[in-house]
Chains A and B, each alone.
Chain A
Amino acid sequence: MEELFGLSMDIIMVALLAVFLPVLAGVVLVAWRNPVMLKLALRNIPRRKSQTSLIVAGIMISTLIMAAAFGTGDSITYSIRKNAVEALGTIDQIIVSARASESDTIGSSNYFPYERFEQLKVELAGMDSIDGLAPGIGEFAPTINSRTSLSEGQMRVAGVDPNTLAGFGDFHLLSGQEVRLESLGPNDALINEEAAKELDAIPGDQLVAFISDSSVAFTVQGVVDSGGLAGQESTLLVRLDRAQEMFGREGMINSMAVSNLGGVFAGAELSDEVTGALRVIFTDRGIAGEIKTLLNRNEVLEQLDLLGPALGGGLTADLATFAAGLREASLTDEFIGVLADEDVQEEVLNAVSAAGLVDVERRAGTLLAGLAEFRVIDIKKQVLDQADQAGSGVTSIFIIMGLFSIMVGVLLIFLIFVMLAAARRSEMGMARAVGAKRRHLIQMFIFEGTAYSVVSGAIGVALGLGASFVIVFVVNRIFTAGGSGAPENFTMFAHFEIRSAVVAYCLGMVITLSTVGISAYRVSRLNIVAAVRGLPAPSQRSETPYRQHLLAPLRALVRPLLLAVTALRALASGDGGRAIGLVLMSFWAAVTVPFAFFGAVFQALWIPLGHGWLTVVAGALLTWVGTSSDEAAPLRIGVTLVIVGVGLSIRTAYHRTRLRPDVGDRIAYTFMGVVNLAFWVIPFGSLRAIFGDVEGGIEMFFISGIAMVAAAVWTVMYNADLLLKLLTTVTRPFGHLRPVLVTAVAYPMAAKFRTGLTLAMFALVIFTLIVMSILTEAFSAAVGDSDQVAGGWDIQAEVNPNTPIDDIRLAIDEKPGLDNKDFISIGGYTAFPVETRQVGASEQRWKFYAVRAADDQYLQETAANLKLIANGYGDTPEEVWEALRLDPNLVVVDSLVVPSREGFASDEIPFELEGVFYEDTEMEAIDIEVREPRTGQVIPLKVIGVMDRLTDAFGELGFGMIASRRGLDEAIPFRIPTTTYRFKAAEGTDIPALSKDLESAFRENGMETDVLSELVDDIAAANRAFNYLFTSFMGLGLLVGVTSLGVVSLRAVVERRQQIGVLRAIGYRRRMVQLSFLTESTFVVLMGIAIGVGLGTVISYNIVKDIQDDIETVRFAIPWLQIGIIIAIAYVFSLATTYMPARQASRIYPAEALRYE
């Protein structure tokens, strides 16, 4: 994984190390100079072993979550790279005909003469960076093993020239022995490992491959390692001349593989150089010259100069080279090199479009289409780049998902140190009384915090990486279960980079140490007398005059200079030792100037912020930023700040009256909590009505979760006494439990800060789990509706295009095991790639898309739902399908090519319609043009409908605009075989059995069938499994929450030891003490659960309602069972953690406790 959130991992690591290492060095230095404080800090660690263990566990889990996210990202990157490299072997680039579609890496039916390879070989002879060029044929043919009767419908038949293997390495049998292609006879073949597995084939077996109406038999001479020319998918390897003969393509090839100098990884590094050189060779210089003349105009050059710098990366340089090439008098190789790059072509056309030159753009588009004879696919580089992108994408998702858990972890660390401070209050008061300074207390805390975190962070990273291994295991299980959209033969490997471990560790340390630093600062401000005498802390007011606060930022800026001047003076007076010390201090002050400055600014602003008015101003500014940039995050945080500011202003105003200040506090804080809560639970639609459309990403989930939970906890904690009264009334009938309940509720309510933090942690965790569960349920229910998804069909069958079925009904009649009566209807279509553009749209380039040319039966019988129907083409989907059947110029497009107002975009298909949005309620018919890439023939079509998003499971069951094949048959000069059939089975038929019968009957046609409901279930199950995986990952936060309760309970036992003695003295039984502790935890846990479940349900409802605009079938449903399980786990584990401390409390001997101080 190279990047995270768009930042290079190297930079992140260096930045974190730059923060962490100096801080650690600083702590070590200060510890070395203050051994007494170090000793005081470290002696506390072994004093209470169970408490120390819980603290270590708490810190560990936060680091664990981050390390797990990084480990998973690394594993994904590594796995894709490994799979890619294993699949490609030494192949770095593939050369196919320029007519082949974008996704075509085997050339398919776009053949070219073998002589072209020989010419190219001569042209490339002087190019050192290429060490291999191999011509070949790649085709697919259904193949059967005669011995085992097993078949493979999509067997790749690779024809390889034995004389061109230099640079690609030899083929090796599984035993490691080298095998030479030259030794193969005309009816001999090698198969790779996958093919052997699929057909259960061994050397000597006879395989029969079916091509068109004939078949060819081969004897397996050996099973070779997969990868490289031997392919990754099931492959039958034959000599090139034999393949040419088999497919009737004598003297032709359809692809050339290129191997760069260097091994499997090093070769990819030369990819840019080789690809550029090849593109220059393949470019038609005449057309390139025409393009240069066409585009060499000021408007285009101006746009290129504007666009280039904005793109960044290699494209900026490429566009600059392109612009320079345009200005040159002659045609240069550099110009041709960049011109042949498809990304550059895309941006150049964008520039032409931005210049408003519609005709030029059209002409340029046409010229570019004929620019090169071949397409050079830098396949290995592409796959490796994709691996990096996928890795960082997944890490980003896991990190965002884990943010809640990390936040809970931060709260736990804060809570831990706040409680440690409470425990040490008296001894710290004593230390201050005998002369220790505030900074000594801060140091003591930081020493202790560092000791805990340095160790537990390291363990956390190790465990986190272990957790990522578990995630990899689970993902592999999901892939094995199928239907997840994972590429075939893809296996995930557990892997992590040292860099990621360093980043996770440093990130954990920086978060922990910052939290420790803040809590230490808070602790250091204790009142000495109150601390020594164990009295409640009096409210503190700053004794520093406000003007001094205002001057503090200035002082922070000049401090390094003043120290340096003092050092010079000390040097002048001959005090060298002091001068060195001052120079060091000056250096440190200079390094920390930004922190000191902003800290001082914050302190200066703190008072007016606390009064409220400045908070309102800050909030209003942020809101304005949000509304003007249409960004949700600043807008919503801004409004929240305004509400908080108004609350604080109410408080300030109230405190200036003679009324009771506590009443003012209650009014102000309740106002903040309740109004903020109301603001955050408002449905998104209502917010849009107020603020207009604003954009928010996945981060809004995190922000809204934190804001809602904070507002709810805030409200509850400031009105806890009312809750207490309510409980007192409610528990009136339970006389014997009353004393237990009284203490169980009174204690947590008395320690508002501590209880509030614990409550917030618990509520946050439950909140995230509930939201995940409800959303998973909503989407599973939607995707799992097989009738909706599969358009009412029962079975889908794909046949090999090389062995099509002429008439399926007739063919069924001829098969003894099949009966036409079992099928109510059979529809078929052929999917093939085309280039498409919309007539009159601002974008006039040809973009890849696909056509599904469907037969009449398919159009008559499909029940696929439509989201939009063009005016004038009826009101129901049936009318639209009928219109398609009658008029071959009409088409219905996938939802994937229609943009969404919600930004719900698909990047799978480059083509996108303009002038219509998925959320619209009506549309006009849209004219488009489709170009068949092989012939260049352009066919005008009209879009009259848009399919529902759920149809074909978001494209997983196939995509492409649906048209009647009759029109296309007439328009395209070659035969289009039907490749996909869909069957509706008669009532009462055993569909899975029928599916198997079809597959077996048509195995010579390479038929592979799927029961659509099973396929849809598989997709839904895989989606659900991924969601469960995310839920489990987020569930790690639950561990933090449970740990926090354990810490709080243990601390409570220690703190209340004497009070437990009193309770026992006045007659509390052991069980009552134990029950009181357990009830206390229950009280906090149940309140947390109530807040989490309540808010989680509300926000999920809002999200589901919002998504329903896009996907109607998403339904809001509460998964009671799952939520019940989450609640039960949370409750049982919390009680289990509290059980030990509660038991410990109940075992305290009263006399002993009363003696305890």
Chain B
Amino acid sequence: MFVEENMSDSIITASSIHKTYDTGVVKVNALRGVDLTVGRGEMVAIMGPSGCGKTTMLNCLSGLDEIDSGQVVIDGVVLHDLPDDERSDYRARRMGFVFQLYNLLPVLSAVENVELPLLVSGTGPAESRRRSMELLDLVGLSERAQHLPGELSGGQRQRVTIARALVNQPSIVWADEPTGDLDSETAGEIMDLMCGLNADNGQSFVLVTHSADVGNRAHRIVRMRDGEIVDDGVNAVTIPQ
């Protein structure tokens, strides 16, 4: 069984994560001592009501945001001990991101968007272009490689985002509401794509979602409320029979 086989080989270990936002007027305890472990190749969905701290947790675990206390270890590296530049390099080499609002650079074509992480991590231009085209082919968009994001549909843009997230063969893919802006059919296609990639490449996926349909496609669902994990359980739906 996947969960049991891989739990011992964890890629993300977060312990006692605290995060407070201080606006000067009010203090919001976004995370209150969260502990979480994600196994290599595991697909974890973080769910919960709005404002429960899902996105904050994703941002803190991925190093996009600072934490007040606790520790995040990714593949043996204590992420928050790294200086900003090294953390940026680490993200470029080891992580991929998918966001709800696609977040493609509107001035670059699909293929240029996809190859950007490779260029950042120092891969040569020709190699970057080759691999980007492979990824676009993988997500079924090689025909649209030269199109600007504004010329693509919502689903196509999200596929480009996924291609960009995977192009540097990251160990972990972070996805914040990856289907939040899509209709159910397109959302289903996107989840098929991510689950397929997860199964084929063994990359870990951490998804933040409101959608039960998306959550049900994950190996594990972590439920949060008021900055705490209230439930962390294996998703029976996805356990291979």
B-binding residues in A (CB < 8 A): 535-536, 728, 732, 735-736, 738-739, 742-743, 746-747, 749-750, 1058-1059, 1061-1072, 1149-1152, 1154-1155
Contacts and interface: CB of A to CB of B under 8 A. Distances in A.
Nearest to A732: B125
Given A735-B124, A746-B107, A1150-B65, A1066 B112 contact: no
Contacts of A1062: 97, 99, 103-105
> 7 tightest A-B contacts by CB?
A1067-B92, A1151-B65, A750-B107, A1151-B59, A739-B119, A746-B107, A1151-B64
10 contacts: A743-B107, A750-B107, A1061-B103, A1066-B92, A1066-B117, A1066-B164, A1067-B117, A1069-B84, A1150-B59, A1150-B64
B150 A738 contact: no
Contacts of B103: 1058-1059, 1061-1062, 1154
A239 to B, nearest CB: 88
Given A736-B122, A739-B120, A1152-B65, 17 more contacts: A738-B119, A739-B116, A742-B119, A746-B105, A746-B107, A747-B107, A749-B107, A1062-B97, A1062-B99, A1063-B105, A1063-B116, A1065-B62, A1065-B97, A1066-B92, A1066-B164, A1067-B117, A1150-B65
B105 A743 contact: yes
A99 B97 CA distance: 98
A1066 B84 contact: no
Contacts of A1070: 84-85, 88
Contacts of A747: 107
A1152 to B, nearest CB: 8
B49 interface: no
B124 A1064 contact: no
Given A536-B150, A742-B112, A742-B119, A1058 B101 contact: yes
Interface in B60-90: 60, 62, 64-66, 84-85, 88-89
Nearest to A748: B107
Contacts of A1066: 91-92, 96-97, 116-117, 120, 164
A747 B108 CA distance: 8
A677 to B, nearest CB: 27
Given A1059-B103, A1065-B97, A1155-B55, A738 B88 contact: no
Interface in B116-168: 116-117, 119-122, 124-125, 150, 164
Given A1059-B103, A1062-B97, A1068 B108 contact: no
Give the one of A728, A735, A1062, A1065 with max B CB within 10 A.
A1065
Nearest to A738: B119
A423 to B, nearest CB: 16
Give the one of B84, B101, B120 with max A CB within 10 A.
B120
A743 B56 CA distance: 28
Contacts of B93: 1067
B196 interface: no
A1023 to B, nearest CB: 49
A855 to B, nearest CB: 79
B106 interface: yes
Contacts of B55: 1155
A116 B56 CA distance: 107
B27 to A, nearest CB: 17
A179 B73 CA distance: 101
Contacts of B99: 1062, 1154
Contacts of B101: 1058
B120 A1067 contact: yes
B116 A1064 contact: no
Contact of A738 (B66, B117, B125): B125
B88 A1068 contact: yes
Given A746-B105, A1067-B117, A1069-B84, A735 B122 contact: yes
A1152 B64 CA distance: 9
A749 B176 CA distance: 30
Contacts of A1059: 103, 105-106
A1072 B65 CA distance: 19
A748 to B, nearest CB: 9
Give the one of A728, A1070, A1151, A1152 with max B CB within 10 A.
A1151
Contacts of A1071: 85
Contacts of A728: 125
A1149 B89 contact: no
A1069 B89 contact: yes
B39 to A, nearest CB: 23
Nearest to A743: B105
A742 B88 contact: no
A1070 B120 CA distance: 12
A749 B109 CA distance: 13
B85 A1065 contact: no
Contacts of A735: 119, 122, 124-125
Contacts of A1061: 64, 103
Contacts of A732: 125
B84 A742 contact: no
A1069 B84 CA distance: 8
A743 B106 CA distance: 10
A746 B108 contact: yes
Contacts of A1067: 88-89, 91-93, 117, 120-121
A1143 B164 CA distance: 27
Nearest to B174: A1065
Contacts of B150: 535-536
Nearest to B56: A1151
Nearest to A746: B107
A83 to B, nearest CB: 61
A728 B92 CA distance: 22
Contacts of A1150: 59, 64-65
Contacts of A535: 150
Interface string B34-65: 00000000000000000000011001101011
A877 B125 CA distance: 71
Contacts of B117: 1066-1067
B166 to A, nearest CB: 12
Contacts of B62: 1065
B108 A742 contact: yes
Nearest to A728: B125
B64 A1064 contact: yes
Nearest to B103: A1062
A941 B215 CA distance: 111
B88 A1154 contact: no
Contact of B106 (A750, A1069, A1072, A1149): A750
